[in-house]
Amino acid sequence: MPTCNTCGKRWTFTQSIKKALLYSKGTKCFYCGTPQYLSTRSGKRTNLIYVIALLGVVLGRPLFDLAGFPYLMLAIPVIIIVMVIVPFSIELSNEKEPLW
């Protein structure tokens, strides 16, 4: 789980999910209000998870000959798994770091 670099407090899983799309732009710590950003290392790891999940969903359709509802049944668990894994891969930084 993300830990604030200023106050050292660890964010909860729910707090991490709420801020999931805001890390690259910077988001305030829930406890001390200091802006926190996604670290470069964490950004690479998170993007890798997104790419693998996207490939799984995109390639899953022709590989398993899925369409319609069965395809949705593949995509939804992948999205849920990604949402559960990503908060554990997040490391915060006090300054905005380059993505690569």
Q: Which of residues 31-90 bind Zn ion (CB under 5 A)?
A: 31-32
Considering the rule CB under 5 A, would residue 1 count as an interface residue with Zn ion?
no
CB closer to Zn ion, 26 vs 56: 26
Shortest reach from residue 40's CB to Zn ion, in Å: 20
Distance in angstroms (rounded) separating the CA atoms of residues 60 and 75: 9
Kindly tell me which residue out of 2, 4, 37, 92 binds Zn ion, with binding defined by CB under 5 A.
4
CA 60 to chain centroid, in Å, comes to 21
Which residue, among 48, 44, 4, has the nearest Cα to 27 in the 3D structure?
A: 4
> What number of chain residues touch Zn ion (CB under 5 A)?
6
Residues 6+ apart with CB under 8 A from 44: 99, 100
Binding site for Zn ion (CB under 5 A): 4, 6-7, 29, 31-32
